[in-house]
Amino acid sequence: MNIILFNPAEVELPLVLHDPRSQHLLQVLRRQVGDSFDCGIINGARGRGTIVAINAEAVTLAFNWQEPPPPLSPIHLLIGLPRPQTARDILREATSLGVTAMHFIRTERGEASYANSALWQNGTWRESLLQGAAQAFCTRLPEITHGHSLATALAALPTELTRLALDNYESTAALATHSLPNPLPTALAIGAERGWTATERNLLRNEGFTLVHLGARVLRVETACLAAITLIKARRGWL
| Residue 26 DSSP symbol | I
Taking only the tens place, the pLDDT of each residue in 165-221 is 999 999 989 999 998 877 889 999 999 989 999 999 999 999 999 999 999 999 999
Rounded mean pLDDT for each run of 10 residues along the chain, 239 residues in total? 95 95 96 97 97 96 95 97 97 98 96 94 96 97 97 95 95 92 89 94 97 94 97 91
Ordered strands of the 46-54 beta sheet: 4-6, 36-41, 46-54, 58-65, 15-16
Question: What residue spans define the domains of the chain?
Answer: 4-65, 73-236
CATH of domain 4-65: 2.40.240.20
Q: Give the span between the Cα atoms of 11 and 14, in whole angstroms.
A: 8
Nearest Cα neighbor of 86 from 120, 136, 121, 42 is: 120
Tell the CATH topology of 73-236.
Alpha/beta knot (3.40.1280)
Given this model, what pLDDT does residue 181 score?
Answer: 75
Q: What is the pTM of this model?
A: 0.94
Helix (H) or strand (E) holding 100: strand 99-106
